Structure 1
């Protein structure tokens, strides 16, 4: 029996509950070191997508039961050629064609939405880390996908002893004598909104993307504010530090951590340094300042998760200095679609 592929809407609470159960079953079976995701996160993602983007969820349903699902990220502006997917099948319902049905649905959707590049992500093992199954990667390769980008997932255990961080600060702060480090929690102060948008607009031009074709996007004040509103609506607290060049007032570096209400882990998001201001340890210092702020804001956070392309040598070196340790890899598999 072929399952029905049904679009899941925010009001479909029973389906969303089952979608959550499937994702948690997959996490427990394949990546148990990863923190669980609360059930309400899923409806929040559908109701509050990133600016200029859309999230959709489609479930494979049989006799009212969700057997698997895929989540599709669809940029609507600069990267309207692109679609990215997370696909999950209940571990107890595999080898019944459910994954194939979901993937075929995705490829039809991509053509309907005029998306010429489709990326599906899977987890893989890294040296010294826990084992990870490779069935997802082999499945994608059989369907014409090729590995395009590998990001190494890392975690930092936050302890009470901050001596190593203080030593790093003292050893490097002299290199940033022409800059001020400015930290805050929540919404960006008005005087920094334009500069924050300017430096964040450089992200896809500066970070390694392998063979994934994500193009630079314009982040203006409306984008910054919409992104903040989305975080607040989903219960995430923005913890941010920037470096400001004293002579020009330019935002020279930016780092961001998301803390989640009632959760013991936080997620390190982007860290970027303007190419014109590199060589002053700004990435390292901004992250050190932000870790201080995270501890002060939420002492209950014991772990920070992050991910970087395996070819991003500078950021990998910074994370190694801070004590982040590899756990696994998130591999983006890519397939081009003829439209």
Structure 2
């Protein structure tokens, strides 16, 4: 029998729906990403209840005739200038209920929402060589980017080398670090450095650009904190007061042993001085000292981001899996011509 789809948008996602959502995601990931831990139930609840930065989220659940949730979809609609054409999809179907039209039913609801919001591009991520790839290609998506997902076990780290890298002198630069929101004295410099991420490799994705200022970096930290996660940052500060580069780690709520790498960036004018390796080594040492319960760090890099992959390899990261970013180009309505007198 065909599944039924209903909209369940935050902030009104009931706990029962969040529990069902987690069950579907865990089953889907166990099938498509064997060995990769699924988010904990409290992480799923926080993601559903907490709006993302400069975006809003719509969610759908597909249910069978017995009201069992068989599939879920979350659509993130970006709202900041430079990205307000973009929507990002996460879609999971319980493997026990696949090939019954559930994914197509969810995608149809998602596409209706994208058209209603006049979105130009819809992107989604799927495991390499997985059923998700075939689903994307049948649905008209095109592969736009390949990501290498890397994991570092802290038990395997060569700490002597990491300490040497973190202690290395970088004339004209100093290290700074903080937890949560950036200190006010560094907020403007941090925002300027954040804009360096706009030249990261994105393949053929119509990803747009984000413009950062001090208020926006504070808002980002508030979003992370609102989910119950902990945000750690280590930065390289130039002697003129500008920020030359930084790296961010997020510790998910619930005391999980796996930390998640967020941004690492070096401002173009400061590249070629080993700053990316420097701040990442300092971050690893900080994890060892301040968060001994963390046993691994996960990151991902675009396949053509060879410099950052080399940095991660030197620190001991190994390949865990590969994923592909797919994109669907959507027709948009022309904006009305302003009336003139």
TM-score (norm 2): 0.92
Q: 1:61 aligns with which of 60, 63, 76?
A: 63
Query: Does 2:83 match 1:75?
Result: no
CA RMSD of aligned residues (A): 1.5
* Residue 307 (structure 1) aligned with residue 300 (structure 2): yes
Matching of residue 4 in structure 1 with residue 8 in structure 2: no
For the Cα contact (< 8 Å) 1:45–1:55, is it kept in 2?
no
The equivalent of 1:189 in structure 2 is 183
Which residue does 2:206 correspond to in 1? 213
Q: Which runs of 5+ in 1 are unaligned?
A: 125-132
1:129 maps to none
Q: CA deviation at 1:46?
A: 3.0
- Aligned pair partner of 1:25 in 16, 27, 30: 27
Structure 2: 5+ residue runs without aligned partners? 333-341
Query: C-alpha deviations, 1:144-171, integer Å up to 9, x for none?
Result: 111001111000000275123124446x
Shift of 1:43: 2.8
Q: Which residue of 1 aligns with 2:93?
A: 89
Distance in 1, Cα, partners of 2:71 & 2:13 = 19
**Alpha-carbon distance in 2 for matches of 1:244, 1:86:** 37
Determine if the alignment matches structure 1 residue 39 to structure 2 residue 41. Answer: yes
- Structure 2 distance, partners of 1:41, 1:20, is 9
Whole-Å separation in 1 of the counterparts to 2:166 and 2:224: 30
Q: For the Cα contact (< 8 Å) 1:7–1:57, is it kept in 2?
A: yes
Of 162, 182, 188, the match for 2:159: 162
1:1-339 alignment to 2 at 5 Å?
1-8=1-8, 9=10, 10-62=12-64, 63-78=66-81, 79-124=83-128, 133-159=129-155, 162-169=159-166, 173-174=168-169, 176-203=170-197, 205-246=198-239, 248-261=240-253, 262-339=255-332
Q: CA contact under 8 A between 1:183 and 1:289: conserved in structure 2?
A: no
Runs of 4+ in 1 over 3 A off after TM superposition: 167-170
Could you state the TM-score of these two structures normalised by the residue count of structure 1?
0.92
